[in-house]
Amino acid sequence: MEDVYELYCRGCQLIADGHHHQAAVPLRRARDLSPQSASIREALGRALFRTQHYQEAAAEFRAVADHAPTNDYALFCLGRCLQLMGRNAEARAPLAQAASLQPERRDYQLYLARAAAAESR
């Protein structure tokens, strides 16, 4: 049986090397062995996001945000996943939370404004 940490490290290295599809394999196994690990779920979410599996990525980022409601990055990524699925109204809440936690992050503000504008169309 593979060690959870080894699976996580292999997945992170694959992400760093730009191999997001391949990274999802060890990261899914690590998540299944350690479902409460926010770092594993965040890395898996990043890999899934980069492969445009937004629904699956959203589930990973939501799990991280549910466990750590002040994790601005997880909230931002959840909001971006929802936006990219065309769910702008739903995206506004996590984007607004991320923006309020890190008001100096202009990218958070920008995507929040974009979600609001898309929703009003």
107-118 burial, b at 16+ Cβ within 10 Å, e below that, comes to ebbebbeebeee
Tell me the per-residue pLDDT of 10-69, one tens digit each, with 9 for 90 and over. Answer: 999 999 999 999 999 999 999 999 999 999 999 999 999 999 999 999 999 999 999 999
Alpha-helical regions (H) of 68-87: 72-84
**How much is the pLDDT for 1?**
54
Matching residue, tokens 């990525």: 57
DSSP 90-117: HHHHHHHHHHHH-TT-HHHHHHHHHHHH
pLDDT band at 119 (very low <50, low <70, confident <90, very high): confident
Number of domains in the chain: 2
Residues 67 and 121 in one domain: yes
**Residue 102 forms part of a structural domain:** yes
Residues 37 and 65 in one domain: no
**How much is the pLDDT for 66?**
97
Residues 112 and 76 in one domain: yes
- Domain holding 109, by residue range, is 61-121
**Residue 7 forms part of a structural domain:** yes
Tell me the per-residue pLDDT of 75-93, one tens digit each, with 9 for 90 and over. Answer: 999 999 999 999 999 999 9
Give 8-60 as a 3 state SS string: HHHHHHHHHCCCHHHHHHHHHHHHHHCCCCHHHHHHHHHHHHHCCCHHHHHHH
Exposed / middle / buried, residue 22 (Cβ in 10 Å: 0-12, 13-18, 19+): middle
